[in-house]
A = this chain, B = another copy of it.
Amino acid sequence: MSEATLDVVGIGNAIIDLLAHAEDQFLVDHELNKGGMTLIDEATAERLYAAMGPATRASGGSAGNTIAGLGSLGAACGYIGKLRDDELGAAYRHDLLASGVRFTTPMAGDGPSTARCIIFVTSDAERTMNTYLGACVNLTADDIDEALVASAKITYMEGYLYDEPHAKDAFRRAADIAHAAGRQVSLSLSDSFCVHRHRADFLDLIANRVDILFANDSELLALFETDDLDAALEKVAAMVDLAAVTLGASGSVVVRGGERVTSPAAHVERVVDTTGAGDLYAAGFLYGLTRNLPLAECARIAGLAAAEVISHFGARPEVPLREFAKLG
Protein backbone atom coordinates (compact mmCIF):
# COMPACT_ATOMS: atom_id res chain seq x y z
CA MET A 1 0.00 0.00 0.00
CA SER A 2 1.51 3.28 -1.18
CA GLU A 3 1.35 6.44 0.88
CA ALA A 4 -1.75 8.57 0.46
CA THR A 5 -1.15 11.89 -1.30
CA LEU A 6 -4.61 13.26 -0.53
CA ASP A 7 -6.48 13.38 2.74
CA VAL A 8 -10.05 13.04 1.50
CA VAL A 9 -11.77 12.58 -1.82
CA GLY A 10 -15.46 13.49 -1.81
CA ILE A 11 -18.12 12.07 -4.10
CA GLY A 12 -21.38 13.92 -4.33
CA ASN A 13 -24.01 15.87 -6.17
CA ALA A 14 -22.35 18.97 -7.62
CA ILE A 15 -25.01 21.60 -7.02
CA ILE A 16 -25.15 25.39 -7.19
CA ASP A 17 -27.12 26.80 -4.25
CA LEU A 18 -29.52 29.68 -4.78
CA LEU A 19 -30.32 31.07 -1.35
CA ALA A 20 -32.93 33.59 -0.31
CA HIS A 21 -34.73 34.58 2.83
CA ALA A 22 -38.39 33.58 2.96
CA GLU A 23 -41.28 33.91 5.37
CA ASP A 24 -42.89 30.80 6.78
CA GLN A 25 -46.07 31.67 4.90
CA PHE A 26 -44.13 31.41 1.63
CA LEU A 27 -43.26 27.79 2.47
CA VAL A 28 -46.90 27.09 3.21
CA ASP A 29 -48.11 28.80 0.02
CA HIS A 30 -45.70 26.80 -2.11
CA GLU A 31 -46.24 23.55 -0.16
CA LEU A 32 -42.55 23.22 0.66
CA ASN A 33 -41.24 20.65 3.11
CA LYS A 34 -39.74 22.88 5.80
CA GLY A 35 -36.31 21.77 6.99
CA GLY A 36 -36.09 19.00 4.42
CA MET A 37 -34.50 18.35 1.05
CA THR A 38 -37.08 17.77 -1.67
CA LEU A 39 -36.23 16.62 -5.17
CA ILE A 40 -37.89 18.74 -7.84
CA ASP A 41 -38.04 18.71 -11.63
CA GLU A 42 -36.72 21.52 -13.82
CA ALA A 43 -40.14 23.13 -14.33
CA THR A 44 -40.67 23.31 -10.57
CA ALA A 45 -37.16 24.71 -10.16
CA GLU A 46 -37.99 27.47 -12.61
CA ARG A 47 -41.30 28.19 -10.92
CA LEU A 48 -39.71 28.37 -7.47
CA TYR A 49 -36.83 30.49 -8.73
CA ALA A 50 -39.26 32.96 -10.28
CA ALA A 51 -41.14 33.15 -6.98
CA MET A 52 -38.09 33.42 -4.74
CA GLY A 53 -36.66 36.70 -3.45
CA PRO A 54 -33.30 38.19 -4.38
CA ALA A 55 -30.85 35.33 -4.27
CA THR A 56 -27.25 34.67 -3.36
CA ARG A 57 -25.54 32.08 -5.54
CA ALA A 58 -22.75 29.82 -4.34
CA SER A 59 -21.40 26.34 -4.86
CA GLY A 60 -23.04 23.78 -2.63
CA GLY A 61 -23.78 20.07 -2.56
CA SER A 62 -23.24 18.15 0.64
CA ALA A 63 -19.92 16.44 -0.09
CA GLY A 64 -18.77 19.51 -2.02
CA ASN A 65 -19.34 21.63 1.07
CA THR A 66 -17.42 19.13 3.17
CA ILE A 67 -14.50 19.11 0.75
CA ALA A 68 -14.48 22.93 0.62
CA GLY A 69 -14.40 22.96 4.42
CA LEU A 70 -11.56 20.46 4.48
CA GLY A 71 -9.65 22.60 1.98
CA SER A 72 -10.24 25.63 4.16
CA LEU A 73 -8.85 23.72 7.15
CA GLY A 74 -5.72 22.94 5.17
CA ALA A 75 -6.38 19.38 4.03
CA ALA A 76 -5.46 18.10 0.55
CA CYS A 77 -8.63 16.97 -1.22
CA GLY A 78 -10.20 15.70 -4.40
CA TYR A 79 -13.80 15.76 -5.59
CA ILE A 80 -15.90 13.68 -7.93
CA GLY A 81 -19.23 15.04 -9.16
CA LYS A 82 -21.06 15.64 -12.42
CA LEU A 83 -21.44 19.13 -13.86
CA ARG A 84 -22.73 20.32 -17.20
CA ASP A 85 -20.34 22.58 -19.17
CA ASP A 86 -22.57 25.63 -18.64
CA GLU A 87 -22.04 28.84 -16.64
CA LEU A 88 -23.14 27.33 -13.34
CA GLY A 89 -20.85 24.39 -14.01
CA ALA A 90 -17.95 26.73 -14.68
CA ALA A 91 -18.65 28.57 -11.42
CA TYR A 92 -18.74 25.30 -9.45
CA ARG A 93 -15.51 24.15 -11.04
CA HIS A 94 -13.87 27.50 -10.27
CA ASP A 95 -14.73 27.20 -6.61
CA LEU A 96 -13.31 23.68 -6.42
CA LEU A 97 -10.05 24.65 -8.06
CA ALA A 98 -9.91 27.87 -6.01
CA SER A 99 -10.07 25.71 -2.88
CA GLY A 100 -7.11 23.72 -4.13
CA VAL A 101 -9.28 20.67 -4.78
CA ARG A 102 -8.31 18.12 -7.41
CA PHE A 103 -11.26 17.73 -9.75
CA THR A 104 -11.06 15.39 -12.71
CA THR A 105 -14.68 14.42 -13.45
CA PRO A 106 -15.49 15.18 -17.11
CA MET A 107 -18.17 17.85 -17.43
CA ALA A 108 -21.16 16.80 -19.54
CA GLY A 109 -21.28 18.41 -22.98
CA ASP A 110 -24.99 17.82 -23.34
CA GLY A 111 -27.98 16.65 -21.34
CA PRO A 112 -29.46 18.32 -18.26
CA SER A 113 -27.94 21.56 -16.98
CA THR A 114 -25.85 21.88 -13.84
CA ALA A 115 -27.87 21.08 -10.72
CA ARG A 116 -29.45 23.81 -8.61
CA CYS A 117 -30.70 23.76 -5.07
CA ILE A 118 -33.26 26.45 -4.33
CA ILE A 119 -32.92 27.15 -0.64
CA PHE A 120 -35.28 29.22 1.46
CA VAL A 121 -33.96 30.38 4.82
CA THR A 122 -36.61 31.36 7.34
CA SER A 123 -36.16 33.69 10.30
CA ASP A 124 -35.60 30.72 12.62
CA ALA A 125 -32.42 29.95 10.58
CA GLU A 126 -33.98 26.75 9.22
CA ARG A 127 -33.23 25.96 5.58
CA THR A 128 -35.70 24.34 3.21
CA MET A 129 -33.96 22.81 0.21
CA ASN A 130 -35.45 22.04 -3.19
CA THR A 131 -33.06 20.26 -5.48
CA TYR A 132 -33.14 19.93 -9.23
CA LEU A 133 -30.49 17.26 -9.80
CA GLY A 134 -29.84 18.14 -13.45
CA ALA A 135 -26.50 16.85 -14.70
CA CYS A 136 -25.93 14.92 -11.44
CA VAL A 137 -28.16 12.08 -12.66
CA ASN A 138 -25.49 11.22 -15.20
CA LEU A 139 -22.78 10.39 -12.70
CA THR A 140 -21.77 6.79 -13.35
CA ALA A 141 -19.19 4.30 -12.15
CA ASP A 142 -17.04 5.39 -15.10
CA ASP A 143 -16.65 8.78 -13.44
CA ILE A 144 -14.92 7.26 -10.43
CA ASP A 145 -11.29 8.22 -11.02
CA GLU A 146 -9.48 5.17 -9.71
CA ALA A 147 -6.15 6.94 -9.15
CA LEU A 148 -7.84 9.81 -7.34
CA VAL A 149 -9.78 7.53 -5.00
CA ALA A 150 -6.79 5.30 -4.35
CA SER A 151 -4.65 8.32 -3.46
CA ALA A 152 -6.86 9.55 -0.60
CA LYS A 153 -6.78 8.39 3.01
CA ILE A 154 -10.57 8.58 3.16
CA THR A 155 -13.23 8.43 0.45
CA TYR A 156 -16.29 10.37 1.61
CA MET A 157 -19.69 9.95 -0.01
CA GLU A 158 -23.01 11.66 0.57
CA GLY A 159 -26.19 9.58 0.90
CA TYR A 160 -28.01 11.96 -1.43
CA LEU A 161 -26.14 10.27 -4.29
CA TYR A 162 -28.49 7.31 -3.89
CA ASP A 163 -31.21 9.41 -5.51
CA GLU A 164 -29.41 8.91 -8.83
CA PRO A 165 -29.87 5.81 -10.98
CA HIS A 166 -26.22 4.88 -11.47
CA ALA A 167 -24.83 6.18 -8.22
CA LYS A 168 -25.08 2.86 -6.38
CA ASP A 169 -22.61 1.36 -8.79
CA ALA A 170 -20.38 4.42 -8.57
CA PHE A 171 -20.54 4.17 -4.78
CA ARG A 172 -19.61 0.52 -4.67
CA ARG A 173 -16.83 0.95 -7.19
CA ALA A 174 -15.31 3.83 -5.22
CA ALA A 175 -15.55 1.90 -1.96
CA ASP A 176 -13.94 -1.15 -3.49
CA ILE A 177 -11.11 0.89 -5.00
CA ALA A 178 -10.52 2.63 -1.67
CA HIS A 179 -10.46 -0.62 0.30
CA ALA A 180 -8.23 -2.34 -2.26
CA ALA A 181 -5.77 0.53 -1.76
CA GLY A 182 -5.94 0.10 2.01
CA ARG A 183 -7.94 3.29 2.55
CA GLN A 184 -11.09 4.06 4.54
CA VAL A 185 -14.62 4.70 3.31
CA SER A 186 -16.98 7.18 4.88
CA LEU A 187 -20.67 7.88 4.28
CA SER A 188 -22.99 10.66 5.36
CA LEU A 189 -26.67 9.72 5.68
CA SER A 190 -27.58 13.23 4.40
CA ASP A 191 -31.27 13.50 5.33
CA SER A 192 -33.87 11.42 7.15
CA PHE A 193 -36.17 11.35 4.12
CA CYS A 194 -33.22 10.16 2.06
CA VAL A 195 -32.74 7.39 4.65
CA HIS A 196 -36.39 6.39 4.29
CA ARG A 197 -36.00 6.23 0.51
CA HIS A 198 -32.86 4.06 0.61
CA ARG A 199 -32.84 2.32 4.00
CA ALA A 200 -32.14 -1.21 2.76
CA ASP A 201 -29.38 -0.05 0.45
CA PHE A 202 -27.84 2.08 3.17
CA LEU A 203 -27.91 -0.74 5.74
CA ASP A 204 -26.23 -3.07 3.28
CA LEU A 205 -23.65 -0.45 2.40
CA ILE A 206 -22.93 0.41 6.02
CA ALA A 207 -22.60 -3.23 7.01
CA ASN A 208 -20.31 -4.13 4.14
CA ARG A 209 -18.48 -1.10 2.78
CA VAL A 210 -18.48 1.82 5.24
CA ASP A 211 -15.85 2.40 7.93
CA ILE A 212 -16.86 5.86 9.15
CA LEU A 213 -20.47 6.98 9.28
CA PHE A 214 -21.82 10.52 9.68
CA ALA A 215 -25.44 11.15 10.61
CA ASN A 216 -27.59 13.41 12.68
CA ASP A 217 -29.84 11.97 15.34
CA SER A 218 -32.99 11.86 13.22
CA GLU A 219 -31.18 10.18 10.33
CA LEU A 220 -29.76 7.55 12.66
CA LEU A 221 -33.17 6.90 14.20
CA ALA A 222 -34.68 6.65 10.71
CA LEU A 223 -32.00 4.17 9.70
CA PHE A 224 -32.88 1.77 12.51
CA GLU A 225 -36.57 2.66 12.62
CA THR A 226 -36.44 3.41 16.29
CA ASP A 227 -36.91 6.40 18.58
CA ASP A 228 -34.29 5.17 21.04
CA LEU A 229 -31.03 6.99 20.28
CA ASP A 230 -29.07 4.85 22.71
CA ALA A 231 -30.17 1.67 20.99
CA ALA A 232 -29.40 3.15 17.58
CA LEU A 233 -25.91 4.13 18.73
CA GLU A 234 -25.30 0.59 19.94
CA LYS A 235 -26.47 -0.85 16.65
CA VAL A 236 -24.35 1.46 14.55
CA ALA A 237 -21.29 0.85 16.74
CA ALA A 238 -21.56 -2.82 15.87
CA MET A 239 -21.71 -2.09 12.13
CA VAL A 240 -18.95 0.48 11.50
CA ASP A 241 -15.56 1.29 12.96
CA LEU A 242 -16.61 4.80 13.83
CA ALA A 243 -19.81 6.82 13.80
CA ALA A 244 -20.14 10.55 14.47
CA VAL A 245 -23.69 11.62 15.25
CA THR A 246 -24.64 15.29 15.50
CA LEU A 247 -27.34 16.34 17.95
CA GLY A 248 -28.07 19.91 16.83
CA ALA A 249 -27.61 22.42 19.63
CA SER A 250 -26.68 19.54 21.96
CA GLY A 251 -23.38 18.90 20.19
CA SER A 252 -22.39 15.44 19.03
CA VAL A 253 -21.65 11.93 20.14
CA VAL A 254 -18.98 9.74 18.59
CA VAL A 255 -18.99 5.96 18.96
CA ARG A 256 -16.06 3.62 18.30
CA GLY A 257 -16.61 0.08 19.50
CA GLY A 258 -17.55 0.40 23.15
CA GLU A 259 -16.16 3.92 23.38
CA ARG A 260 -18.45 6.97 23.40
CA VAL A 261 -17.25 10.57 23.23
CA THR A 262 -19.77 13.34 23.70
CA SER A 263 -18.98 16.95 22.82
CA PRO A 264 -20.93 20.15 23.39
CA ALA A 265 -21.84 22.39 20.44
CA ALA A 266 -19.52 25.35 19.85
CA HIS A 267 -20.85 28.75 20.86
CA VAL A 268 -22.57 30.72 18.10
CA GLU A 269 -23.44 34.39 18.62
CA ARG A 270 -26.47 34.14 16.37
CA VAL A 271 -27.58 31.20 14.23
CA VAL A 272 -28.43 32.69 10.83
CA ASP A 273 -28.73 29.75 8.45
CA THR A 274 -28.23 26.10 9.28
CA THR A 275 -27.44 25.16 5.65
CA GLY A 276 -24.21 23.16 5.59
CA ALA A 277 -24.01 22.52 9.34
CA GLY A 278 -23.68 18.75 8.98
CA ASP A 279 -21.37 19.07 5.99
CA LEU A 280 -18.96 21.30 7.87
CA TYR A 281 -19.13 19.10 10.96
CA ALA A 282 -17.97 16.24 8.74
CA ALA A 283 -15.22 18.46 7.32
CA GLY A 284 -13.81 19.28 10.74
CA PHE A 285 -14.11 15.70 11.95
CA LEU A 286 -12.44 14.20 8.88
CA TYR A 287 -9.68 16.81 9.16
CA GLY A 288 -8.95 15.60 12.67
CA LEU A 289 -9.09 11.93 11.65
CA THR A 290 -6.63 12.41 8.80
CA ARG A 291 -4.26 14.02 11.36
CA ASN A 292 -4.78 11.10 13.77
CA LEU A 293 -6.14 13.43 16.44
CA PRO A 294 -8.09 12.09 19.43
CA LEU A 295 -11.84 11.73 18.82
CA ALA A 296 -12.67 14.56 21.23
CA GLU A 297 -10.35 16.85 19.28
CA CYS A 298 -11.89 15.75 15.96
CA ALA A 299 -15.33 16.59 17.38
CA ARG A 300 -14.12 19.93 18.71
CA ILE A 301 -12.79 21.04 15.31
CA ALA A 302 -15.98 19.69 13.71
CA GLY A 303 -18.09 21.78 16.06
CA LEU A 304 -16.11 24.94 15.32
CA ALA A 305 -16.41 24.44 11.56
CA ALA A 306 -20.17 23.86 11.87
CA ALA A 307 -20.50 26.92 14.09
CA GLU A 308 -18.79 29.12 11.50
CA VAL A 309 -21.11 28.03 8.71
CA ILE A 310 -24.37 28.45 10.63
CA SER A 311 -23.39 31.96 11.72
CA HIS A 312 -23.94 33.29 8.19
CA PHE A 313 -25.96 32.73 5.02
CA GLY A 314 -24.68 29.92 2.82
CA ALA A 315 -23.24 26.46 3.14
CA ARG A 316 -19.53 27.11 2.81
CA PRO A 317 -17.08 28.87 5.10
CA GLU A 318 -16.62 32.58 4.52
CA VAL A 319 -13.30 32.79 6.31
CA PRO A 320 -10.35 30.40 6.34
CA LEU A 321 -10.93 27.67 8.93
CA ARG A 322 -7.25 26.92 9.51
CA GLU A 323 -7.18 28.69 12.84
CA PHE A 324 -9.71 26.16 14.19
CA ALA A 325 -7.30 23.37 13.38
CA LYS A 326 -4.52 25.08 15.33
CA LEU A 327 -6.27 25.78 18.59
CA GLY A 328 -6.45 22.21 19.91
Contacts and interface: CB of A to CB of B under 8 A. Distances in A.
A55 B56 CA distance: 11
Interface string A73-99: 000000000000011100100110011
Contact of A269 (B52, B123, B270): B270
Interface of A: 20-21, 49-50, 52-59, 68, 86-88, 91, 94-95, 98-99, 123, 269-270, 272, 312-314, 316, 318-320
A54 B16 CA distance: 12
29 contacts: A20-B98, A21-B318, A21-B319, A21-B320, A49-B94, A50-B94, A53-B98, A54-B58, A54-B68, A54-B95, A54-B98, A54-B316, A55-B58, A55-B95, A55-B98, A56-B56, A56-B57, A56-B58, A56-B314, A57-B58, A86-B87, A87-B87, A87-B88, A123-B319, A269-B269, A272-B312, A272-B318, A312-B313, A313-B313
Identify which of A21, A50, A312 gathers the most chain B CB atoms within 10 Å of its CB.
Answer: A312
A270 B291 CA distance: 32
Contact of A313 (B59, B68, B318): B318
A8 B121 CA distance: 28
A99 B53 CA distance: 6
Given A21-B320, A123-B319, A313-B318, A55 B269 contact: no
A94 B46 CA distance: 11
Identify which of A21, A269, A272, A318 gathers the most chain B CB atoms within 10 Å of its CB.
Answer: A318
Identify which of A54, A57, A88, A269 gathers the most chain B CB atoms within 10 Å of its CB.
Answer: A54
A318 to B, nearest CB: 5
Contacts of A320: 21
Nearest to A71: B54
Given A313-B312, A320-B21, A94 B269 contact: no
Given A54-B58, A54-B59, A313-B314, 16 more contacts: A21-B320, A52-B98, A53-B99, A54-B94, A54-B95, A55-B91, A55-B94, A56-B314, A57-B91, A86-B87, A87-B87, A123-B319, A272-B312, A272-B318, A312-B312, A313-B313
A302 to B, nearest CB: 20
A69 B55 CA distance: 14
Nearest to A57: B57
A52 B94 CA distance: 9
A262 B178 CA distance: 65
Contacts of A54: 58-59, 68, 94-95, 98-99, 316
A87 B53 CA distance: 17
A49 B98 CA distance: 9
Nearest to A312: B312
Contacts of A55: 58, 91, 94-95, 98
